[in-house]
Amino acid sequence: MKINNLDAVISELKGSLRQYLEDQGTEFVGTHFTCPNRKNHRNDDQKPAASFYPDDTSFHCFACSQSGDIFTAASLLEGMSLEGRDFITTVKELGERYGVKVEAEEDTVDVQNKRLRGMMELIRDAAHKTYLTTELATNYVKERQLTEIEKDAKFGYCNYDKLLQFLGTKGYTEQDLSNAGLSRMLLHERLLIPVYDSWGKLVAFGSRKLKNEDLEKYRNSSTSQLYKKSEVLFNFNNAKMSDAVIVVEGYMDALCLAKNGIKNVVALCGDALSEQHIQTLVKNKVKKVILCLDGDLPGQDATKRIIEALSHKDELSTSVITLKEQLDPDDFIAKYGKEEFLNQPQQSIFDFKLQKYLESNLDKALKDDLLKYVSEESSFIEKEHMCKKVAKAAQVKVETVLSEIERIEKEKLGY
């Protein structure tokens, strides 16, 4: 669906925001913006309660720490929750409230997507009912101590053949399942975990094996009209109000942290961190990414890949948590507690790479990886600081480190 008169809607909303925010050139700020998330909030001490930048229509509320665009600001003013609303629905409702007729039209793809999403919601709800009466599934959730969030997470379980019969009564076919990226291997007698996009729309399922004979521990929906793995981060619909997110390896890791009240956690859906993922984070005003992946070899490999994707991203600061004893986040919290987890030291990418190099007995490949990272640093002062730190840790002269960096830069240029 597309909105034909979006500029007119934005223009009306900008005019409305000016009632609450003072014009200060490139920025509008205000002390009389009352956020419904903190209804009694009103700053009278010259500190702004909210800030709005009309050029890119970005917005930040200092009362509830929510960031977004002009539609976020208007929704807050109107006391509208954005949870579960997509962009089109939000704009339409705001248009009605501000007296602007929103001209929107559906295309063929929109109609198809709405139909597939309706099917997926039927699967989610039916599978959840079956899950609640299936001991194989509920016992696993009890073992993982996730029972308290089973309803919010909408865990599911189904027999594929019975599911097909049920969907047939609703007018859906096996081809519809395929079009939605769903298959017998994904759905049949496994723990089902709904996956939502950043707007809270159901777009996919993850599943976890419950029987030993299943070969794959985890499976994910295939790419479909609704679901692009390179764009969706599991649980980001719940974490996107935070300016820092913790990235963990899988669905269960994220759910286990959420169970412990740690909401700003996301997981990769069986895919590498992509540029689209990074842009999703940036567009939602995330400032910091904290990597906390498993300490086993697959986890270490995943950490390395994600670090490469996030290296020298000016929009995001990145740090790494390395849990002792190679524990995953859930096991660590079970053993040491939530507070200990939250107080774990965070390393910069540089410090993480330096530590790995020193622990390897000065492995050449890790040294080159470290120095390559240093060579790509744009700040001369920061690069000089890194060189001195490497020299001190490796017990060599700074000139030796600079010479090695020069070699790497020449190799990169093909000299």
The reported pLDDT for the residue numbered 266 is: 96
pLDDT score of 39: 43
Contact 312, 378 (CB under 8 A): yes
Confidence at 7, pLDDT banded by 50, 70, 90: confident
Q: Which of the four pLDDT bands, split at 50, 70 and 90, describes residue 42?
A: very low
Query: pLDDT digit string (tens) for 88-98?
Result: 777 877 777 77
Confidence at 77, pLDDT banded by 50, 70, 90: low
Average pLDDT over residues 15-24: 64
| Top-confidence residue, 348 or 49 | 348
Domains 2-105 and 229-345 share a fold: no
Token pair recorded at residue 411:
């190799």
* CATH number given to 108-220: 3.90.980.10
CB-based burial label for 359 (10 Å; 0-12, 13-18, 19+): exposed
Mean pLDDT of the chain: 85
Domain at 2-105: CATH code:
3.90.580
Strands 67-69 and 104-105: unpaired
Residue pLDDT, tens place only, 185-220: 999 999 999 999 988 899 999 999 999 888 899 999
Domain borders along the chain are: 2-105, 108-220, 229-345, 357-415
Per residue in 275-312, pLDDT tens? Answer: 899 988 988 889 999 999 876 666 778 888 899 899 98
Closest to 327 (Cα-Cα) out of 244, 263, 253: 253
Distance CA 201, CA 131 (A): 21
392 beta partners: none
Q: Which amino acid is at 192?
A: L
Tokens 């020298």 — which residue? 312
Residue matched to tokens 């599978």 = 127
Q: Are 225 and 179 in contact (CB under 8 A)?
A: yes
pLDDT digits (tens, 9 = 90+) for 216-274: 999 999 999 999 988 899 999 999 888 999 999 889 999 999 999 999 999 987 678 88
Closest CA to 65 of 50, 87, 54: 50
pLDDT digits over 360-397, tens only?
988 989 999 999 999 999 899 999 999 999 999 999 99
Beta bridge partners of 196: 202
Q: Is the pLDDT of residue 120 over 90?
A: yes
Where b means 16+ CB within 10 Å and e means fewer, 252-291 reads bbbbbbbbbebebbbbbbeeebbeebbebbeebbbebbbb
- Domain 229-345 part of CATH 3.40.1360.10: yes
pTM: 0.75
Q: Could you tell me the CA-to-CA distances from 154 to 133, 170, 414 in Å, in that order?
A: 13, 21, 54
Q: Given a cut of 60, is residue 31 above it in pLDDT? A: no
State residue 29's pLDDT score.
58
Give the confidence band of 18 by pLDDT, cuts at 50, 70, 90: low
Residue 41 pLDDT > 50: no
Residues near 156 by beta carbon (within 8 Å), at least 6 away in sequence: 123, 124, 126, 127, 128, 130, 131, 191, 192, 193, 194, 205
Percent of the chain with pLDDT over 70: 83
